[in-house]
Amino acid sequence: MRGPALDEDLAAGVRDVSPLMLGIVPFALVAGIAAVDAGLGLAEAVGMSVIVFAGASQLAALELLGENAPLAVVVGTAVVINLRMLMYSASIAPHFAEYGRRLRAGLAYLLTDQAYALSVAEFDENSDRSRWRYYLGAAASLWIVWQVGTVAGVVLGAGVPDAWGLTFAVPLVFLALLVPAMKDRPTTVAGVAGGAVAVVAAGLPYELGLLVGALSGIAAGLIVEVTGS
Amino acid sequence: MTGALGSVVASPRAWVAIVAIGALTYGIRLSFIHLFGRIDGVPTRVQRPLRYVPPAVLAALVLPKLVTLGPSVPATLLDERLVAGLVAGAVAWRTEDVFATIATGMGVLWLFRFVVFA
């Protein structure tokens, strides 16, 4: 028996996103573990996962909070990390243009790297899809797994001895995302320069090393792109 | 059971950061979805630097966790975290799999901590 078209589009989004959960589950667990490590409780950890809902920026913010960095540095660093979503917002906007203001406001909240990449690929390939339902199927699945994973990570992080070095999983998650992000010469230079400057700048006051490293890497990538060498 | 789950200590600093980051991030997400029709796309001058945000930020997050500048070159390079990171990086490059990368990196770290230096 086939359900109505509404459920088919939603189900297609859920189905297509499910292989990505293998990468999301450990990432979410690490977000919970990092929250414990930064001295946060369950309420703050879940509050962050619900209100921010952007993994890389959450991990960076947790690290800086744990090191007692000034709030402006914590917020500024997290926002720079999330600036990439401007591109996703612009790229997916034409697909949502026909919808009302409130629906678009809700869809925007769920925008993530994975939901964006899956949906735009599907919209280009299959124009019969209900766009918002397909997107909702994928994005809401990611949201649910992210919240459950965060809670599990808090429980795990509170129960495992420090000697196991579980927080080392944080840079490992970033490493798994970094390698495919360095896909050509300018992006590779941006990564190498960003990392090297961050290591040298690690001793800067106010925990500014991460922000300075990131901005240096962006500048280095642009310079290579412009000079073409 | 005490610890994180039992913690009820108010942490206004963390909440201020969470709400500020959440609000600004939502603004970024909503930006063009909200404005579409009035603004057609990201201006090229904005688009170009954004391309380098992911590699630059991710590398700046990773490398200081693997390398700490020591008093000498051998002291800097002979670090269990750097070795674990290099092996995990090779796995990330071959598999592009988050789970395999974490499992390898943690495995190498534990090998050093609990076997080699035990």
- DSSP for A21-61? HHHHHHHHHHHHHHHHHTT--HHHHHHHHHHT--HHHHHHH
Answer yes or no: do A43 and A111 share one domain. yes
Among A114, A136, A165, identify where a domain stops: A165
Q: Which residues of A touch B96 (CB under 8 A)?
A: 176, 179-180
pLDDT of residue B84: 96
The residue of chain A with its CA nearest to that of B45 is A222
Range of the structural domain that residue A218 is part of: 182-229
**Which chain A residues contact residue B17 at CB under 8 A?**
61, 65, 71, 74-75, 78
Q: Does B35 touch chain A (CB under 8 A)?
A: yes
Q: What is the mean pLDDT of residues A47-62?
A: 96
Please give the Cα distance from A39 to A136 (Å, whole number). 33
Domain boundaries, chain B: 10-41, 53-118
> A32 with A73, same domain?
yes
Find the residue in B nearest to A101 (Cα): B34
Q: Which residues contact A81 (CB under 8 A, 6 or more apart)?
A: A54, A56, A57, A60, A214, B53, B57
Q: Which residues of A touch B18 (CB under 8 A)?
A: 44, 47-48, 51-52, 61
Q: Considering only the beta carbons, identify the residue of A61, A86, A186 that sits closest to B31.
A: A86
d(C-alpha B79, C-alpha B64), whole Å: 12
Question: Do A126 and A228 fall into the same domain?
Answer: no
Interface test with B, best of A37, A96, A175, A188 (most B CBs within 10 A): A175
pTM: 0.82
Residues A197 and A161 in one domain: no
Task: Based on the fold, state whether residues A157 and A61 are members of the same structural domain.
Answer: yes
Looking at the structure, tell me whether residues A127 and A214 fall in a common domain: no
* ipTM of the prediction: 0.87
Residue A197 has a pLDDT of 97
pLDDT at A50: 98
Shortest CA gap B81–chain A (Å): 8
Is 90 exceeded by the pLDDT of residue A21? no
Q: Is residue A172 part of a domain?
A: no
What is residue A208's three-state secondary structure? coil
Domain membership flag for residue A200? yes
The string of pLDDT tens digits covering residues B33-80 is: 998 767 767 778 878 888 898 899 889 989 999 998 877 888 778 789
Q: Total domain count for chain A?
A: 2
Instruction: Answer yes or no: do A203 and A125 share one domain.
Output: no
pLDDT tens readout for residues A130-182: 999 999 999 999 999 999 999 999 999 888 887 888 888 888 988 988 998 89
Nearest to A71 by CA among B17, B15, B24: B17
* A23-27, A68-72, B35-39: least confident range: B35-39
A54 part of a folded domain: yes
Question: Has residue A174 been placed in a domain?
Answer: no
Q: Which residues of B touch A107 (CB under 8 A)?
A: 33
Q: Kindly list the distances between the CA atom of residue A76 and the CA atoms of A61, A227, B8, B110, in Å, as whole numbers in the listed order.
A: 9, 29, 27, 34
Whether the CB of B69 is below 8 Å from some CB of chain A: the reply is: yes
User: Could you tell me which residues are beta bridge partners of residue B39?
Assistant: B36
> Does residue A175 form part of some domain?
no
Residue A7 confidence (pLDDT): 84
Write out pLDDT tens, residues A168-215.
Answer: 888 898 898 899 889 999 999 999 999 999 999 998 888 899 899 999
